[in-house]
């Protein structure tokens, strides 16, 4: 049995969405960040980082949303998403995942979260938030140009890179970003996926 810990964040959405695409059975333990649930002795023994998401598969334990999604992708077969079969395909997927996680998530959106949603903890920093917004807009221009006449990031079809990008696009929309035309069309199409809709409902319930 797969156990997935975490809910209510874009990062926790990713492994839930992956599990739904793979149509595998899993148990969700919907703890949320900064609720105190990640600081308990029980959870800290599982994940000393005290972060979500976190996964258990039998005796194997894993944190970080990208690592979890890649593990699930390579452990369970599926006809619903593309799984790289060659070194070049894997490298291309890794390139997109690294770009999305490094440039969109960590460099922009999560920094904004600290000084936008969590000002009581990290303090207000309007200049930082404005700089993140401008930087993210620049990255969106790159992605928007690339996505012209494309349905997915990889020509082979929908995959983990799309899960990561759409989770960041949802996050950006929540922060009132206006998505460029091609990105908006791409997001709207992928948002029609059954697994996405179910994962969103599960992750953000209540």
Verify that 77 and 104 share a domain, yes or no. Answer: no
User: For position 206, what pLDDT does the model report?
Assistant: 55
CA distance 69 to 102: 16
CA distance 184 to 188: 6
Verify that 119 and 146 share a domain, yes or no. Answer: yes
Verify that 77 and 93 share a domain, yes or no. Answer: no
Q: What integer best gives the mean pLDDT of the chain?
A: 96
Residues 48-92 have pLDDT tens digits of: 999 999 999 999 999 999 999 999 999 998 899 999 999 999 999
User: For position 34, what pLDDT does the model report?
Assistant: 84
Verify that 9 and 28 share a domain, yes or no. Answer: yes
- Give me the CATH number covering residue 109: 1.20.1050.10
Verify that 13 and 41 share a domain, yes or no. Answer: yes
Q: Based on the structure, what is the number of domains in the chain?
A: 2
Verify that 15 and 92 share a domain, yes or no. Answer: no
Q: Which residues partner with 204 through β-bridges?
A: none
- Local structure of residue 1 (DSSP, 8 states): -
Is residue 143 pLDDT above 70, yes or no?
Answer: yes
Verify that 102 and 171 share a domain, yes or no. Answer: yes
Verify that 100 and 77 share a domain, yes or no. Answer: no
Verify that 71 and 143 share a domain, yes or no. Answer: no
User: For position 196, what pLDDT does the model report?
Assistant: 98
Residues 145-170 have pLDDT tens digits of: 999 999 999 999 999 999 999 999 99
b (16+ CB within 10 A) / e for 7-39 = bbbbbbbbbbbbbbbbeeebebbbbebeeebbe
Percent of the chain at pLDDT exceeding 70: 100
Range of the domain at 25: 2-81+197-203
Verify that 96 and 189 share a domain, yes or no. Answer: yes
Residues 112-141 have pLDDT tens digits of: 999 988 898 899 999 999 999 999 999 999
- Give me the CATH number covering residue 74: 3.40.30.10
Verify that 99 and 189 share a domain, yes or no. Answer: yes
Tokens 């049995």 map to which residue?
1
Verify that 160 and 183 share a domain, yes or no. Answer: yes
């Amino acid at each position: 049995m797969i156990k997935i810990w975490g809910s209510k964040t874009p990062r926790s959405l990713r492994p839930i969405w992956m599990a739904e695409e793979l149509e595998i059975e899993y148990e969700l333990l919907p703890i949320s960040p900064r609720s105190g649930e990640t600081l308990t002795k029980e959870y800290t023994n599982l994940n000393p980082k005290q972060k979500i998401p976190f996964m258990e598969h039998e005796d194997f334990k894993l944190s970080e949303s990208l690592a979890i999604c890649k593990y699930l992708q390579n452990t369970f077969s599926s006809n619903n998403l593309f799984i790289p079969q060659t070194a070049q395909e894997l490298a291309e997927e890794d390139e997109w995942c690294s770009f999305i996680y490094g440039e969109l998530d960590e460099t922009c959106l999560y920094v904004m979260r600290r000084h936008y949603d969590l000002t009581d903890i990290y303090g207000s920093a309007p200049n930082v938030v404005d700089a993140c917004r401008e930087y993210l807009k620049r990255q969106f221009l790159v992605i928007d140009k690339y996505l012209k006449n494309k349905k997915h990031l990889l020509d082979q079809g929908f995959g983990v890179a799309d899960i990561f990008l759409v989770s960041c696009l949802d996050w950006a929309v929540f922060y009132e970003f206006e998505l460029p035309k091609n990105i908006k069309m791409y997001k709207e199409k992928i948002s029609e996926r059954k697994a996405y809709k179910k994962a969103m409902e599960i992750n953000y319930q209540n």
